[in-house]
Amino acid sequence: MESVNFKPQSDFADKAQKAFEEEKEKLATIIPNADIQHIGSTSIPNAITKGDLDLQVRIEGIDFQEAIEKLKKLYDINQPENWTENYASFKDGKRDMSIGIQLTVKGSDDDRLFQEQQKLLSNNPDVLKEYNEMKLSFEGKDIREYRAARHKFFETLKAKGLLA
């Protein structure tokens, strides 16, 4: 069982920002038209995080398959069961700070969801507090159970009309 542990975002802020800048530069050379953003809990002040870096690589639909092939050369495929015609994910866990790459087609539902989640958690302290509390309830527990709870958390926000 792989367990999950959380710490304050502030413990990782400088390290995450440096890693983001390095990855962004690397990604911009292979996918020059991409909009590359630092997303996830390491980018949100007062968040609780696993301490990994998440990036969203936003591209036009016409470039999606080519971007997948380029990313496969640099990163491991991540959770292929979640891939759609507008979303693919990659990871690099061989570094000091694990990296997750979320490739999305601009304007797609997958793209908007990442953007909305980021905005909601960054701008709504009550939702962020609830999210942090949910995370802490999985401290030291199975990461698969945490991921299922995280999915349910965001589905509940959708049901409340806070996410599209």
Q: Residues 47-102: pLDDT tens digits? A: 999 999 999 999 999 999 999 999 999 999 999 999 999 999 999 977 788 999 99
Q: Is the pLDDT of residue 21 over 80?
A: yes
pLDDT of amino acid 59: 98
**Contact residues for 6 (Cβ-Cβ < 8 A; gap 6+):** 48, 49, 50, 135, 136, 139
| Range 142-148 average pLDDT | 93
User: How much is the pLDDT for 126?
Assistant: 97
What is the 8-class DSSP label of residue 52? -
pTM over 0.85: yes
* The token pair that represents 7 in the structure block: 């710490």
In 98-163, which residue ranges form alpha helices assigned H by DSSP?
109-123, 125-136, 143-159
Q: Which fold has domain 7-159?
A: Beta Polymerase; domain 2 (3.30.460)
Domain coordinates of the chain in residue numbers?
Answer: 7-159
